[in-house]
Amino acid sequence: MIGWILLAIIVLIIIRAPIFVALGAPAASYLWLRGIPLELAPQRMLGTVNESILLAVPMFLLAGALMNRYGATARIFDFAQAVIGHVRGGLGYVTVLASMVFSAMSGSAAADAVGVGKMTVAAMRERGYDPNFAAAVTLSSATMAPVIPPSIIMIIYGATANVSIGKMFLGGVLPGLLMAVSLMITVGWLSARRGYGRGEPFSFHRALTTFWRAALVMLTPILVIGGIFSGALTPTEASAIAVVYVIFLGIVYRKLNFGDFYRSLVHTATAVGALMLVVSVSGLDAWVIAREQIPMMLAQQVSEMVSSPTLVFIAILLVVLVLGLFMDATPIILMLVPAIAPLVTAFGIDPLHLGVLFCIVCVLGLITPPVGVALYGVALVSRLPMERVFAATIPFFIMLLVLVAIMIAVPSIVTWLPNKWG
């Protein structure tokens, strides 16, 4: 029966049914066909989201929404442009740098893509950059948001896999920085080949002025990440402090009014409602999969066919990469992680190493068609066809895949910071 359920889920996803329907309807059918009381469904769904750590999700989303409302992104962009905009292809570097800083405040690739993309794509077009290149840099830079802490999908992964979220955040720091470096290398290579010009000459006065304008905004990730890494704050507490601090900045800058605050609340409530519905329904799916002992059977069969933990590690990430073409990161985590847990244990795979790379590969799905949320966002703000945006993103995509391969071969890139400071 479980085979029919999985087939039903795949078919519903292919025909573009809402994700909560694709995940929930087959699981509910399983309960009915097995004669299990349907009252079990809401119990399992509620139990899945009844985790205090998940309170961090709406808080970080609200912080990102508020910052977009009062122009925090513009302050970051102006500072990055003053510092690095004078080199060849400077606005490409500025986009990566601005996205990296914004990633440390929002934790959402879609928010990063839209928030930063509104400025960067227009600015690059004005300076004579190819619009496709401008959109590609913006889109690929958004992949850092779910990797550099605080990360929404790392919170969901940690809660699902029972992995320390603080250590997940620490594990994402070096990979996130390396992603920024690899994207900048690609920007430099493409800019040199296409002959993109330089920006305005460097001005220390301008750099200092824009720094002071952005200093309070850039203090946000320091408060959040520093509080978590020092052990003074849990991720949930840090997310609440981030919201309070962002509201304080909006008042100080006199840019946040009641209307903007209300619209940010509505946007966050809508996003969180959709997300938590998927999370809760996935909990019911996980219960069905566990009841049928699918994870144990999978672990046993793979153990008989493969003896190398590295091959199993790579196989898991390849499955995630393929699923990412058709599904968002959250349902992939909620469906796949419970199923592979015994496999990870049986082969002695480091759950932290796997978790961080799992999230990174999930993120690559956000920039690929046909379901890439960030891809749609950048196509919308750049007013370009989705196909052209993705085609221009391919060099960046390949570079990120190479980086993933390096991190598989060198686990310490992920594990060094958590082992030293976790």
What would the mean pLDDT of 235-261 be, rounded to a whole number?
85
Convert the pLDDT of each residue in 276-303 to its tens digit: 787 788 777 777 777 776 666 666 666 6
Q: How many domains does the chain have?
A: 1
> Does residue 24 fall inside a structural domain?
no
The verdict on residue 6 lying in a domain is no
Q: Which of 123-127, 348-352, 417-421 has the highest mean pLDDT?
A: 348-352
Residue 413 pLDDT class (50, 70, 90 cuts): very high
CA distance 421 to 230: 9
* Better-scored residue on pLDDT, 225 or 295: 225
| The predicted structure's pLDDT at residue 407 | 95
pLDDT of residue 2: 61
pLDDT band at 116 (very low <50, low <70, confident <90, very high): confident
List Cα–Cα distances, 416 to 17, 103, 411, in angstroms. Answer: 42, 21, 8
The pLDDT-based confidence of 43 (bands split at 50, 70, 90) is confident
Q: Is residue 21 part of a domain?
A: no
Residue 355, pLDDT score: 93
Domain that holds residue 269: 39-421
In-domain check, residue 13 = no
Q: Which pTM value belongs to this model?
A: 0.79
Percent of the chain having pLDDT more than 90? Answer: 13
Residue 114 forms part of a structural domain: yes
The pLDDT of residue 400: 94
pLDDT of residue 176: 92
Q: What is the mean pLDDT of residues 241-246?
A: 89
User: Higher-confidence residue: 283 or 208?
Assistant: 208
Per-residue model confidence (pLDDT) at position 356:
94
Residue 376 pLDDT > 70: yes
Answer yes or no: is 14 within a domain: no
Q: For 398-422, what is the mean pLDDT?
A: 91
Of 6-15, 28-37, 128-137, give the lowest mean pLDDT range: 6-15
State which of 232-246, 302-316, 322-336 shows the largest mean pLDDT: 232-246
Among candidate residues 167, 96, 99, 86, the one with its CA nearest the CA of residue 127? 86
Mean pLDDT computed over 227-246: 84
| CB neighbour list of residue 394: distance below 8 Å, 6 or more residues apart | none
Instruction: Look over the chain and give the mean of its residue pLDDT values, rounded to a whole number.
Output: 81
pLDDT band at 139 (very low <50, low <70, confident <90, very high): confident
pLDDT score of 59: 84
Query: So what's the pLDDT on residue 7?
Result: 74
Burial of 202 (0-12, 13-18, 19+ CB in 10 A): middle
pLDDT of amino acid 340: 83
Query: Residue 211 burial (CB < 10 Å; 0-12/13-18/19+)?
Result: middle
* Residue-wise DSSP of 54-93: GGHHHHHHHHHHHHHHTTHHHHHHHHHHHHHTTSBTHHHH
Percent of the chain with pLDDT over 70: 91
* pLDDT level of residue 186 (50, 70, 90 thresholds): very high
Amino acid at 252: V
pLDDT at 296: 64
Residue 372: is its pLDDT beyond 80? no
Q: Identify which has the larger pLDDT, 384 or 195.
A: 384
The long-range contacts involving 385-392, CB below 8 angstroms and separated by at least 24 positions, are 388/132, 388/135, 389/132, 389/135, 389/136, 389/139, 390/139, 391/132, 392/130, 392/132, 392/133, 392/135, 392/136
How far is it, in rounded angstroms, from Cα 184 to Cα 80? 13
Residue 173: pLDDT over 80? yes
Query: Average pLDDT in the 213-238 region?
Result: 82
Residue 217 belongs to some domain of the structure: yes
Given this model, what pLDDT does residue 422 score? 56
**In the Cβ-directed half-sphere of 29, how many Cα atoms lie within 13 Å?**
14
- Calculate mean pLDDT across residues 352-364: 92
**Residue-level pLDDT at 82:** 84
State the virtual CA torsion across 365, 371, 373, 376 in degrees, nearest 10: 120
Residue 91's pLDDT band, with cuts at 50, 70 and 90, is confident
pLDDT at 142: 85
Domain assignment present for residue 63? The answer is yes
Q: How confident is the model at residue 411 (pLDDT cuts 50, 70, 90)?
A: very high
- Section 190-218 average pLDDT: 81
CA distance 83 to 142: 20
Q: Which residue has the higher pLDDT, 374 or 261?
A: 261
